Amino acid sequence: MAEQTENPKDNSCAPEAVYSLRAYWKPRYWPVWLVWAWIALMARLPFPWQIKIGKRLGRALMPVLTRQRTAAQRNLAICFPELDAQQHRELVIKQFESYGASLAEMGVGWHTPLAKLKKIVHVEGKEHLDAAMADGKGVILFTAHFTCLEVGVAILEDLCSNCGCMYRPQRNEMFDTMILRGRSRFAKRQIDKNNVRMLLQSLRSAMAIAYLPDHTYTGSHSELLPFFGEPTVTNTATSKIARLSGAKVLPYFFRRNADDSGYRVDIGPPLDGFPTEDPVADTARLVGLLEDYIRLAPEQYLWTYRKFKGRPAGYTDVYSPSA
């Protein structure tokens, strides 16, 4: 993994100098260079072209990415049982279009100048973030893995001057550095998802941290909670982190417009009475907020990973071929 300094983004230093890609010339990194070239090329195209090309790429990848396709099919069938077979097929196709668009949206989020980015991203609720930051306490921006994630967090460069994010280290060192470099435009600190100490320090120093606890987590702070009615191993740590740090928790969600003309970011007010002494109830409340937002554009949540994995014995493995 790339070496991470205490302050990965210094305002006096360009991101290229902090997260250089020059060391990654060995053959095992060449496929990642192709991804980097794709992202850089897409960033130079007009925005409508980026999304159109990305969607076509997603449709082309659908027959190839069998594991991801199966996960999306099973997840969507479980979470939206009210849809008929044809509607499910159409939703899976739209999911892969959004998946492909996300590869183009890396270029949008990482390389688009801020003035241009502001023209295509409409923000609702900025006053909630401003008021929370003005209190001098930390802010947890509760968000999730929507396909336009890189655009949704990139606009934080304009919304917040003291912001950071959690991230999951990647197995490929170059890809890890590439993501850190791309997000450094808005994140003054990028915190390994396992580094709880740094997360608490950051919140106690009045930073706003983009926090994504929606992926399956089987550690000590996890409970089996319903997600769209299906028991799911769920991360309950948000409640404890808010309690230990004194940070406020604000919903921070985003989606691409239905006509692909741009994006919408929705920032909610601080959650009233959060946290309580019951982290399970607190987490169920967060899951409910996430479900409500997913329903606005279900194809734009990341369904291609195994959301219902890691469940205890007695629960069906919904991803097995016999399921």
Strand-pairing partners, residue 225, are: 232
Strand-pairing partners, residue 53, are: none
Domain ranges of the chain: 15-300
Q: What order do you get walking across the sheet with 208-211 strand by strand?
A: 121-124, 263-267, 248-256, 139-142, 208-211, 163-167, 189-192
Per-residue pLDDT at 9: 40
Per-residue pLDDT at 17: 55
Amino acid found at 198: M
Q: Could you list the pLDDT tens digit for every one of the 323 residues in the chain?
A: 443 444 444 333 445 557 889 899 999 999 999 999 999 999 999 999 999 999 999 999 999 999 999 999 999 999 999 999 999 999 999 999 999 999 999 999 999 999 999 999 999 999 999 999 999 999 999 999 999 999 999 999 999 999 999 999 999 999 999 999 999 989 989 999 989 999 999 999 999 999 999 987 767 789 999 999 999 999 999 999 999 999 999 999 999 999 999 999 999 999 999 999 999 999 999 999 999 999 999 999 999 999 999 999 999 999 998 77
Tokens of 285: 């409340």
CB 59 within 8 A of CB 97: yes
From residue 133, give the alpha-carbon distance in Å to each of 10, 141, 159, 205, 266: 21, 11, 11, 11, 17
